Amino acid sequence: MTGVRHEDAAIGFDALRPRLMRVAYRMLGSVADAEDILQEAFIRWMKVDREEVSEPKAFLRRTVTRLCLDQLKSARHQRETYVGPWLPEPVVEEEEEEDVTLPLMLALERLSPLERAAFLLHDVFGLAFEEVATTIHRDVTACRQLAARARAHVREERPRYQMSRHRGLEIAKAFFVASRSGDMQALGAMLAADISVHADGGGKRAAASKPILGFEAVMKFHQGLAAKLREHGSTLVRTGFVNGLPGFVTLEADGEFQTTALDIEDGRIAAIYVVRNPDKLRHLH
């Protein structure tokens, strides 16, 4: 009977895994770390007296959130010592994710762990503040204040322009062609005046050490990049939504993957996010 109960518990956990993964990934910004958190949550789930657990989904969500809060304490130090701009590990999907896009994930990085948890659990995942309070061990009033402070910080990073899925992918494909071929006229027509480029190489692959800001600087950067790409090559693997933004995955000349995500506002590309750190791309293989 014990074996049967364990099997049922494992099946129940697997049914909740996608939702738990969404919580962990949005808390941590790392696929690998989120998977580790789920593994630890699974171990705890198998050890607990499950007959005492009235709501498995709530219990596991609380467990995952608390493990993430512990993880964020060490992750904050890792961010401070990271080489170059830090970007979350890219998740590439066929459909657009509207709740937490890449710019919003970067805004969440500026929050305290508790602010981040309160905002995600209440504003993104729709939990009542009573449940948030139970999860993060704070009273309801404190949770409301945490979420309000977080909301004030991230409000500007919410999507402001609605664009069809098809149009977003169309712009992503056109950007790939123009940037790789060196068609600077076509490229320039796609970019906003205050365009920025953020490249995460993690000190393990060549990448700009600081964000590249402004139309002229970004055009100059891509002109030099196109010359290198014409010589060494860059192959389009697939288009899709990278952390909720239109983008694509490429195979570069060094045999490594790379992701590019485009933040598009009013039909023009306002920001380009490139992940080159191989440690963040392993799950794409």
List alpha helices for the chain, DSSP H: 2-28, 31-47, 56-80, 102-108, 113-119, 129-136, 140-154, 165-181, 184-190, 215-232
Question: Is the Cβ–Cβ distance between 41 and 60 less than 8 Å?
Answer: yes
pLDDT in tens, 50-80: 778 888 899 999 999 999 998 887 766 566 6
Q: Is the pLDDT of residue 228 over 70?
A: yes
pTM (predicted TM-score): 0.86
Q: What CA–CA distance (Å, rounded) separates 34 from 56?
A: 19
pLDDT in tens, 177-199: 999 888 999 999 999 999 999 99
pLDDT (0 to 100) of residue 4: 45
Of the candidates 196, 192, 203, the residue with the CA atom closest to the CA atom of residue 103: 196
Q: Is the pLDDT of residue 5 over 80?
A: no
Q: Is the pLDDT of residue 110 over 90?
A: no
